[in-house]
Amino acid sequence: MSIEVAENFKEALWKVEGDRDIEAMIQVLSENCEVGNVAVPQTFRGHDGAREFWTAYRKTFDDMESTFRNVFADDEGHAALEWQTEGTSDGDIVSYAGVSILEIEGGKVRRFMAYFDSSALSRQVVG
């Protein structure tokens, strides 16, 4: 089941990226979810926190698209997604890569955390 949830997460992310549809992501997250990444010092909790996180994330970019090199999942409720995201921010080209870890419970993502070189991304988005 973890691989199915990981695939659902990928589909939801593409909707966030392409259509700015945050609610697609909320549908794959548990009500008591925790979401975050290494660039943001706080953990966002629950659906309201997830909406705040994904809305802020999407506003960082003009256009964006993630591709996935590897998706791994086990039968214990864990998945890892290796990705590359490319897009634009204020008209400048942005490209960064990383890994996202999903903890899955009851067929939903209970915890999402993305790991990447935040300083490299910051230089592209801010600098």
Q: What is the mean pLDDT of residues 65-87?
A: 96
Topology of domain 2-125, per CATH? Nuclear Transport Factor 2; Chain: A, (3.10.450)
Q: What is the mean pLDDT of residues 109-127?
A: 79
C-alpha torsion sign, points 45, 49, 51, 52: negative
Angstrom distance (rounded) from CA 76 to CA 79: 9
pLDDT of residue 124: 64
pLDDT of residue 123: 67
pLDDT of residue 125: 64
Greater confidence (127 vs 9) lies with 9
Angstrom distance (rounded) from CA 38 to CA 27: 23
How would you classify residue 116: left for phi > 0, otherwise alpha for psi between -120 and 50, otherwise beta? beta
The one-character DSSP state at 23 is H
Question: 50 near 44, Cβ under 8 Å?
Answer: yes
pLDDT at 109 over 60: yes
Split at pLDDT 50, 70, 90, the class of 10 is: very high
Angstrom distance (rounded) from CA 12 to CA 24: 5
